[in-house]
């Protein structure tokens, strides 16, 4: 707990999905795959794809607007905007700056954060610290990705997994000391960076014709190895949340997991002894939207009325870096 004794409340959530949907059957026509393989290995049926004119900030802006509206916060009053993304509009300036311009939040500081699929948990943690320290009182955190633009559409091992989207949350200081973010937990292991990365595109290997010809600017993943680390690390981090907060078996009302693979989600639910009715699953219709996945699933659960006032919610994510983390929130 910070010296101020303030607890950060999520006052609103929002999300945005581009209109175009790509089903597994569409992918069958593009690469050597089947709906049956994708569904049985990952739980994914379809994913959304941004229109050619849409960049990450456009998706982030829509999600941010939704969250601000639910929170009843005027963009002009925002103190800070953090966008978690691994697919920014440009390598500079920040995607958060474009969101700021789009929504007219001219008083706010704005920056991007890169922790791959764990980005939203990292952004939520930083936003929480700014609120609890008393520095800021209105923070917009967004996870947004246009991953379909960074995929090798000839590589069936990766192109079937990812989708585009954005999710957002507005953070404010709580008034009753009970509701809000109770704990956050962040981890990273850079020694396994090359299990999941894009080799070219920035300073290690700038974009060249050769890099593009070899598709080195697209997502490369050693899926099987990532899978095993994900299951282990997520099990550890949920244990950490349980220990840190002295939780019993019935203390978690909902799990909002990173939506990469239904089998990884089920493994975490089993670890927590949670029935699947208490797990928010959107991977079937969103695919893996990286930093957008947790806030997208959260917004779906909040707007559908599944997550209600008083519920205790565990958010977790795992991704490139490798990075992983969790947040425990009382709604």
Q: Which parts of this chain interact with ligand ACO (CB under 6 A)?
A: 33, 37-38, 41-42, 116-117, 156-157, 160, 196, 223-224, 226-227, 230, 260-261, 264, 288, 290, 318-320
- CB nearer ligand ACO, residue 227 or residue 254: 227
Catalytic member of 24, 217, 261, 288: 288
Which tokens sit at 60?
């982030």
Nearer to ligand ACO, 149 or 156 (CB): 156
Collapsing DSSP states into helix, strand and coil, what is residue 316?
Answer: strand
Where helices occur in 254-292 by DSSP H, the ranges are 262-271, 283-286
Q: How far is the CB of 170 from ligand ACO (least distance, A)?
A: 25
Residue 288 designated active-site:
yes
Q: Which residue in the shown chain puts its C-beta closest to ligand ACO?
A: 319
Q: Tokens 């707990």 sit at which residue?
A: 1
Neighbour tally for 114: CB within 10 Å: 17
Would you say 293 and 210 are in contact if contact means Cβ atoms under 8 Å apart? no
Q: Within 10 Å of residue 211's Cβ, how many Cβ atoms? A: 15
Indicate the residue among 36 and 77 with the shorter CB distance to ligand ACO: 36
User: Minimum CB separation from ligand ACO for residue 116, in Å?
Assistant: 4
Residue 7 or 233 having the CB closest to ligand ACO: 233
**CA 205 to CA 215: how far, in whole Å?**
12
We find the least distance from the C-beta atom of residue 196 to ligand ACO, in angstroms, to be 6
Q: CA 236 to CA 257: how far, in whole Å? A: 14
The single residue of 24, 48, 185, 258 carrying the catalytic annotation is 258
Which residues lie across from 23 on neighbouring strands?
46
Q: Which residue has the tokens 């991953």?
A: 147
Residue closer to ligand ACO, measured from CB, 160 or 272: 160
Which of the following is catalytic: 24, 48, 117, 185?
Answer: 117
Is position 117 annotated as part of the catalytic site? yes
| Min dist. Cβ of residue 73 to ligand ACO (A) | 30
Helix axes 262-271, 35-42, angle to 10 degrees: 20
261 is catalytic: no
Compute the Cα dihedral for 75, 14, 196, 257 and give only its sign: positive
Smallest distance from ligand ACO to CB 188, Å: 12
Catalytic residues: 117, 258, 288
């Amino acid at each position: 707990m910070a010296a101020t004794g303030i607890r950060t409340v999520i006052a609103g959530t929002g999300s945005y999905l581009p209109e175009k949907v790509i089903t597994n059957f569409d992918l069958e026509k593009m690469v050597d795959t089947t709906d049956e393989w994708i569904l049985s290995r990952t739980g994914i049926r379809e994913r959304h794809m941004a229109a050619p004119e849409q960049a990450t900030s456009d998706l982030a802006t829509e999600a941010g607007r939704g969250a601000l509206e639910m929170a009843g916060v005027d963009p002009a009053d925002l103190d800070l905007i953090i966008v978690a993304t691994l697919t920014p509009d440009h390598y500079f300036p920040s995607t958060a700056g474009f969101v700021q311009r789009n929504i007219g939040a001219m008083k706010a500081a704005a920056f991007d954060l890169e922790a791959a699929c764990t980005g939203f948990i990292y952004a939520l943690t930083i936003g929480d610290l700014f609120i609890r320290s008393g520095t800021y009182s209105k923070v917009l955190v967004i996870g947004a990705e246009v991953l379909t633009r960074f995929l090798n559409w000839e590589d069936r091992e990766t192109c079937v997994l990812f989708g585009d989207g954005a999710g957002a949350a507005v953070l404010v200081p709580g008034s009753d000391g009970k509701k809000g973010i109770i704990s956050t937990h962040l981890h990273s292991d850079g020694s396994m960076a090359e299990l999941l990365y894009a080799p070219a595109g920035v300073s290690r290997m700038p974009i060249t014709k050769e890099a593009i010809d070899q598709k080195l600017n697209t997502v490369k993943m050693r899926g099987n190895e990532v899978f095993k680390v994900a299951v282990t690390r997520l099990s550890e981090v949920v244990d950490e949340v349980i220990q840190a907060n002295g939780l019993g078996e019935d203390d978690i009302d909902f799990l909002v997991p990173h939506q990469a693979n239904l089998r990884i989600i089920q493994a975490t639910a089993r670890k927590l002894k949670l029935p699947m009715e208490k797990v928010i699953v959107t991977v079937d219709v969103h695919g893996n939207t990286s930093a957008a996945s947790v806030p997208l699933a959260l917004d779906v659960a909040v707007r559908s009325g599944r997550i209600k006032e008083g519920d205790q919610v565990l958010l977790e994510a795992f991704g490139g870096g490798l990075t992983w983390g969790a947040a425990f929130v009382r709604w």
